[in-house]
């Protein structure tokens, strides 16, 4: 069996930065290749055109093209023709793409098309209560309706996407996975009182609630340290730096306890997770967050948001706590419980990794993907 993946990002030295989408694809394709499945990666919007094979994976770097008119259509048709060429040459049995901005709208491929829902623009606009460009809504609707098969990374994302686009198709739910042999517990590195947020510094991740939460914590535990690792993003509502918006909310007593690390290499992020006593991820908009399952795999007790997808990842009171981030007093209280009771933090971290091993490890999830794709190829 040979599966192709159409994606704008993938973690590789030649493909530029990659976020959770690229990481989740890498976890999956690496596991599929280890099972004897051929994989081709079609990574578009790149700086150059190239084809190369590395670690058993065939990479297609596809340079971004500019069109004088109707670029939204011609770009998709260019990608369609490129895909169809190699579907024929390399005998690709199915192609997977993401739902974001409906990249496969208007495409007609020579093999089954699978769309995996990691969260469309319409989905995130609904969660963030912000308007969406009508053309993006149209592209995403056309793409989803034109797909042969649909997968969602969470039940919540599946149900919300069905409502938004009034989809009648069946949607398989297969979560993102984490390499549990890479994300290992390192309890000897834990520093008591160290609280970590890692991810983009952006409103939708709930970071604007963190200053008020941290201010309350410093009142009770003056030695607590707050570490923030991630890229600063310009705020969608004010146009200002989100980091600066946060800084404005910290009281002087808290400011000296805050450390901004910026955008780190991934190995450095792993080191920061290892050192944290508590990880906080108060996000308002996710499909199924890689940051959560990576931290849980490293036996970290989390304090997360309590929205939709959270119930599919976290067990409140067992793997950590799920709290409405806008309830800053309660959110701070839960962090304080963990800071003041290392044994509780340790036990919740153990329960968190157990949950990951059972439901989100690559070894478990790859079997679900294999079963799905075998059915796709057999039934087409």
**CA pair distance 46, 267, nearest whole angstrom:** 24
157 found inside a domain = yes
What total of structural domains would you count in the chain? 2
Give the count of beta carbons closer than 10 Å to the beta carbon of residue 127: 21
Do residue 14 and residue 137 come from a single domain? yes
**Six token digits for residue 149:** 């098969």
CA angle 301, 315, 184 (to 5 degrees): 40
Residue entry with tokens 């309350």? 216
Cβ-contact 92, 357 below 8 angstroms: no
- Residue 265: which residues within 8 A CB-CB, separation 6 or more? none
pLDDT at 317: 97
**CATH assignment at residue 285:** 3.40.50.2000
Do residue 341 and residue 368 come from a single domain? no
Write out pLDDT tens, residues 79-125. Answer: 999 999 999 999 999 999 999 999 999 999 999 999 999 999 999 99
Write out pLDDT tens, residues 20-67. Answer: 888 889 999 999 999 999 999 999 999 999 999 999 999 999 999 999
182 found inside a domain = no
How sure is the predictor about 153, in pLDDT bands with cuts at 50, 70 and 90?
very high
Write out pLDDT tens, residues 313-324. Answer: 999 999 999 999
- The pair phi, psi for residue 342, each rounded to 5°, is -55, -35
What does the pLDDT average to over 209-216?
98
Do residue 279 and residue 234 come from a single domain? yes
Do residue 129 and residue 195 come from a single domain? no
Do residue 308 and residue 371 come from a single domain? no
pLDDT at 17: 78
pLDDT at 195: 98
Q: What is the torsion angle, in degrees rounded to the nearest 10, for the CA atoms of residue 352, residue 355, residue 356 and residue 360? A: -150
Do residue 123 and residue 226 come from a single domain? no
210 found inside a domain = yes
Query: Domain range spanning residue 66?
Result: 2-177+361-379
Q: Is the pLDDT assigned to residue 380 strictly greater than 80?
A: no
**Six token digits for residue 58:** 């065939």
pLDDT at 16: 79
The model's pTM is 0.93
């Amino acid at each position: 069996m040979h599966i192709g993946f159409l994606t704008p990002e993938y973690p590789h030295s030649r493909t530029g930065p990659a976020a959770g989408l690229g990481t989740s694809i890498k976890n999956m394709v690496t596991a599929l290749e280890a099972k004897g499945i051929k994989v081709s990666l079609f990574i578009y919007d790149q700086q150059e055109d190239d084809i190369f094979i590395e670690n058993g994976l065939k990479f297609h770097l596809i340079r971004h093209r500019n069109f004088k008119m109707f670029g939204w259509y011609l770009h998709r048709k260019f990608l369609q023709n490129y895909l169809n060429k190699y579907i024929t040459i390399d005998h690709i049995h199915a192609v997977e793409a993401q739902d974001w901005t409906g990249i496969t709208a208007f495409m007609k491929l020579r093999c089954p098309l699978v769309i995996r829902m990691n969260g469309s623009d319409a989905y995130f606009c609904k969660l963030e209560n912000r308007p969406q460009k009508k053309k993006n809504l149209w592209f995403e609707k056309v793409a989803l309706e034109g797909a042969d098969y649909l997968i969602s990374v969470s039940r919540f994302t599946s149900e919300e996407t069905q409502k938004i686009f009034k989809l009648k198709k069946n949607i398989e739910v297969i979560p993102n996975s984490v390499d549990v042999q890479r994300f290992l517990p390192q309890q000897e590195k834990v520093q008591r009182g160290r609280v970590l947020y890692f991810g983009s510094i952006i409103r939708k991740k709930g970071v604007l609630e963190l200053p008020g939460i941290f201010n309350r914590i410093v009142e009770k535990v003056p030695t607590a340290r707050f570490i923030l690792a991630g890229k600063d993003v310009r705020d969608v509502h004010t146009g200002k730096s989100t980091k600066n918006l946060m800084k404005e909310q910290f009281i002087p007593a808290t400011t000296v306890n805050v450390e901004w690390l910026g955008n780190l290499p991934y190995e450095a992020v792993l080191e920061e997770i290892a050192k944290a006593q508590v990880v906080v991820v108060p996000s308002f908009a996710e499909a199924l967050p890689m940051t959560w399952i990576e931290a849980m795999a490293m036996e970290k007790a989390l304090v997360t948001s309590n929205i939709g997808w959270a119930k599919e990842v976290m067990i409140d009171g067992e793997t950590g706590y799920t709290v409405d981030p806008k309830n800053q007093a309660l959110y701070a209280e839960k962090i304080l419980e963990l800071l003041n009771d290392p044994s509780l933090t340790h036990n919740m971290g153990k329960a968190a990794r157990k949950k990951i091993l059972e439901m989100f490890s690559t070894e478990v999830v790859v079997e679900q993907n294999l079963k799905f794709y075998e059915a796709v190829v057999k039934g087409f």
